[in-house]
Amino acid sequence: MENALGIWGPQAIMMAITASFTVVGMAMLLAAIFMKRRWKPSYTFEFAFIAVMLGLVYYADYLSTNTYTAYQKNMSSGEQKVSGNLVGEGEQAFDRVITVIAFQWGFAFINEDNEISRNAVVVNAGDKVLFKIVSNDVIHGFNIPVAQITAEIDPDTRREVWIKAPDKPGKYLIQCVNYCGVGHSQMKAWLVVKDNKTASVNITGGNT
């Protein structure tokens, strides 16, 4: 994975290329404005410039594809490892206790039965949900806009936050709000809220 805390990497290369072309473009613009004789580039120069632009587009698309592939791949056993107990004192007061692993660039949710869900957590409407959040690489943010909570998670530390799930069933955004590398903008998940009344009907419907 990309080291978000370093100054090197694909994003740094793209920024350097962009800055270089900005400087060259400004120089050419000033030359066109202040030079008495208008300079007309040769066809070779024009075709070379187009080729460079196409190469940059291909390179940017290549980086984006690699980032998306890394984001979608399954977590390794090392990435799934969480130190400590998943259940502690005082957690009986909550309807759900969810351990969250934040990583570049996604979230994994581990429920009370030690089942892992990638980038989505399912709860019932109105549930009191405790999130126990850890990061196994860099600093991440954990934000649920509908619940108006935000937590910053440092590597090798654990943060605990809890929410009351919305009463209205639906999908609610969970997102990282700390820049954590080239795939930060894709680091999103869903809080899926189900209607607990409907769930009860589905469970008992076969016994009538």
142 to 122, 175, 197, 204: CA distances (angstroms): 17, 6, 29, 36
Percent of the chain residues topping a pLDDT of 90: 20
Average pLDDT for 151-161: 87
- Could you report the per-residue pLDDT of 113-150, keeping only the tens digit for each? 888 888 789 999 999 999 999 988 888 999 998 888 88
- Whether 166 is covered by a domain: the verdict is yes
Q: What is the pLDDT of residue 200?
A: 40
- Could you report the per-residue pLDDT of 164-202, keeping only the tens digit for each? 999 999 999 999 988 888 788 888 899 999 987 654 433
Mean pLDDT across the chain? 76
Q: Are residues 123 and 173 in the same domain?
A: yes
Task: Provide the number of structural domains found in the chain.
Answer: 2
Q: Are residues 48 and 132 in the same domain?
A: no
Beta bridge partners of 129: 96, 163
- Whether 4 is covered by a domain: the verdict is no
Average pLDDT for 52-61: 82
The band of 60, judged by pLDDT with boundaries at 50, 70 and 90, is confident
The parent domain of residue 33 ranges over: 10-72
- What's the pTM? 0.56
Q: Are the beta carbons of 161 and 149 closer than 8 angstroms?
A: yes
Element (H, E) at 161: strand 158-164
- Whether 107 is covered by a domain: the verdict is yes
- CATH label of the domain that carries residue 164: 2.60.40.420
